[in-house]
Structure 1
C-alpha cells in the first residue's frame, strides 16, 4: 500500500490517529472529527443522512484505489485474472486475517455478510433429524429464513425466541439460557453480534460459553460489529462467523468473509459446485469475483486503521448517546438499546409508543424526512413492534444528532 496513516489523514488535514494515538482522540474533539469526515465525500446537501448501516461510504483513498484497480483489471482482463491475481489474492487474504487476528486458511471470501452466513447455516452438517436449532427475533431476515428452512432441509425442529425488551446484560443471557434449558435438543444456534434491527449487542462471550457447555455450536453473524466494536474471535470463543466488509470497514460493496476455525472446517459442507476438499475455500463458490473490489480491501483496512478502531468506537457511541440518552426520559419515545456501552455501538433504534406497525413506521420515516430532512429506515421483525433505526457515521455531527432529538420530541408530542 502506498499511503501511510499520516498520508491518509493528511488528505483530510487531520493529525495521525492510528495505533496508540487513537487512544488519545476524544469522541467530542470536533476539530479532529471534522478532519476525519473530510476523508469521505459529503452526503447530499439539504438533508441529514442517518441511515449509514446499509453500507458504508468508501474513504476517498479507498475509492481512488478501487478506481485504479478497476482500470487495471479492465485493461489486462484475463491476463491479470489468470496469473497475477492469485498472488494478490493471497496478500489480501493475509491482510484480512491480520485484521481478524486469525489464520489465513481459516477465512474465505464471499460477496457479503449474508452469503457468509448462508454458507454456514446451509452448510452446517452436524444436524440430524430430531435435533433442534435456535434463533431470535432480532436476527437478520435472511438468516432467520435460512434457519427456518433447516426444518425442511435437515429434518430438525426450529425454535425461535424473542429477546427481552427493555434489554440488559443479564436478562439477555437468561433468555438464551432458558431457551437452551427448555430445548435440550438444540445443537446449533444463530447469534447476532450487533442487531441490524435495534443495535443491541448481546453478551456474546457469555452466551457462547453457556451454549458450548450444552454441546451447542454458535454461528455468529458479525456483519455490523466489525469496524464498530473492539473484539477478537479468539477471545469470544467463536468457531464460525460471517462478516461484510462494506459496512464499517468501508470496502467496496460486494466483499465479505466467512470464518471457520481450522479444526471445524469439516463441519461445514463443501459447496455443491466443488469437489471434496479439507480447505475452507471450496465451502464457498461465488463464481467470478469483482477483482477490483477484493484488491481494494487492504486500502479500506488501511483507512480504517488510520482513524483507529478505539477512536471510531468511541465516536459512534458518542453520536448515538447524543440523541438516544437525551430522549431516554421522554415518556412516548422508547429507546431500544440500554444505556450500557457494552450493549450498543453507534446503531440504536427507537419506537414511539403505540406506533408498532410497519405502516406506522413508514409514515414516521416519511414525516422525519419531509418535515425535518432526516433520512432513516424502518425495521420490522422485532417482537414488540416495528421501529426506526438510527445509524450515524463519521460524516455526522453532534448538531445533527441534536436536530434529530428535537424532531423526535416534536413528533412524539403530536
Structure 2
C-alpha cells in the first residue's frame, strides 16, 4: 500500500501486526427493549436514558456542543485509553494500523462510502477547513458563497479565499421564517445574481437555529450550474438519515462526537472518488500521493483511544437507529417549541415542517435581537429555573437561545422549559 507513513497510520489505516481492538463492552445494548421505541414510548426511552450518567446539577438542554457518551461507549473508551497509556508507542507503531483500518471501515459503512473516499480527523472543523482552504479549482474573479447560518470557522475559511485565491466572497442571509421551497429559491437567487460562482458552502443542519437545509436539491441545482458544493454535516450525521451519496456533494465534513456519541476528538472528511486532486494536500506532506485522501489533512499525534472507541459508539447508536432517535428528539422539541409557535412573546426559529427541523431548535423574545440580551435569557433560565441552554449569535435577524435535548432527556425536562418560558413572558 504505497504512500503510507506513520502519520497515515494514525489517521486511520495502514498495515501492521498486532493484537487488534479491545472488544466492545457486552453492555452496548444491555437494558434496551427489543421492541417499541415510538417517540412517546416512555418505558423505552427511560431504558435508553439509563445508559447515560448525566449530571443532576441542571436540566441539561445544551447538548449541541457534543453529545455525552453512553455508558458502554465510555467504558470502551476507558479500556482503550488504559491500553494505549500502558503500551504507548509499542502499540502505536506495531498494532494500531489494522485496528485503525477497522475503525475507518465502520465509519465508511456508516456514511456509505469507499475506504478511499474518507479519512478521519479530529473534528468537522478540521475536515471542512482542509476542504475550503485546499479547494484548488478557484481562479481570480470567481465567486464563492456562504450563508449567515453557517458555522463561524467555516465562514472565516470562506472569507479567507478572497486573499488566498483572489475571489469574490458573498454572504447571503437565509429567509426567516424558512420554508422548504423558500430555501431552495434563496440559493437559486444567489447563484443567478452571481453567475461566476464556483464554490458553495452548505450546512446540512445549522448549529445556530437547528434549521435543516434541502441539501440534495440545492446541490443538484448548483451542480447544473457548474458549482461545487462543500457540505458541513457536523450536526446532521446521526440525527438525519442520509448517506454521502444522497447529499449529492463531492466534499463533506462530519463530526462523530455529536449525534453518533463517540468520544470528543473524532471527525471525518469525505471526498468523492475522482475528486481528491481538486483538494490540495496539506503543506505538511513531503511527497503527497495525488489520489491519497489522507494526504489532505495532517493531524499529527491524536487521541488514539477516542478513535478506537468509535465502533462502540456506532454500535450503540445503531442499536436504537437514526430514524428512531430523530423522531424522539423531534418529539421532545415539539413539546416546548410548538406550544410557543403563536405566543406573542416568542419567535421559534425553525418551522414545524419535519423536513426542516430536528431536535435542535432556537427561539428569541420578539424584538430582542442583541447577543447580550439573549445571553441574559439563557442565564435567567439557568439561575432561576435550573435549565441549561446556550445563546447563539450570527443569525442575520438577530441572536437567539438554542435548546438541544438529548436521549437522556425526558418529557418532563422540556415541559419544565415550556413552563419557565411562559412564566418569563409574564
User: Please, what TM-score do these two structures have when normalized by structure 1?
Assistant: 0.95
SS of 1:109's partner is: strand
How far 1:2 moved relative to its partner?
4.3
How far 1:43 moved relative to its partner?
2.2
SS of 1:242's partner is: strand
Which residue in the other structure is 2:333 paired with?
A: 320
2:379 paired residue among 344, 362, 366: 366
1:29 aligns with 2:47: no
CA contact (8 A) 1:9 1:36 kept: no
Q: Deviations over 1:73-116 (max 9, x none)?
A: 11111111011101111111001000011101100111101101
In 2, the alpha carbon distance for the partners of 1:390 and 1:33 equals 19
CA contact (8 A) 1:9 1:39 kept: no
Which residue in the other structure is 2:3 paired with?
A: none
Q: Deviations over 1:132-183 (max 9, x none)?
A: 1000000000000110011001100000000000000011110000000000
Counterparts of residues 78-117 of structure 1 (less than 5 Å): 78-117=89-128
1:263 paired residue among 261, 269, 274: 274
In 2, the alpha carbon distance for the partners of 1:221 and 1:80 equals 34
CA contact (8 A) 2:28 2:312 kept: no
In 2, the alpha carbon distance for the partners of 1:170 and 1:307 equals 32
Unaligned runs of 5+ in 1: none
Q: Deviations over 1:337-389 (max 9, x none)?
A: 00010101110000101110001011111111111111000000000000000
SS of 2:362's partner is: strand
Which residue in the other structure is 1:308 paired with?
A: 321
In 2, the alpha carbon distance for the partners of 1:81 and 1:8 equals 26
Unaligned runs of 5+ in 2: 1-21
How far 1:4 moved relative to its partner?
8.3
2:218 paired residue among 207, 212, 216: 207
1:340 paired residue among 353, 360, 365: 353
In 1, the alpha carbon distance for the partners of 2:235 and 2:91 equals 33
RMSD: 1.2
In 1, the alpha carbon distance for the partners of 2:62 and 2:111 equals 26
1:395 aligns with 2:411: no
CA contact (8 A) 1:349 1:389 kept: yes
Which residue in the other structure is 2:192 paired with?
A: 181
In 2, the alpha carbon distance for the partners of 1:236 and 1:297 equals 23
How far 1:3 moved relative to its partner?
5.2
2:366 paired residue among 329, 344, 353: 353
Counterparts of residues 36-185 of structure 1 (less than 5 Å): 36-45=48-57, 47-185=58-196
1:8 aligns with 2:8: no
1:280 paired residue among 293, 299, 308: 293
SS of 2:260's partner is: coil
How far 1:220 moved relative to its partner?
0.2
In 2, the alpha carbon distance for the partners of 1:357 and 1:336 equals 15
CA contact (8 A) 2:37 2:45 kept: no
User: Please, what TM-score do these two structures have when normalized by structure 2?
Assistant: 0.93
Answer with 271-280 or 175-184: which moved more.
271-280
Segments of 4+ moved more than 2 angstroms: 1-5, 42-45
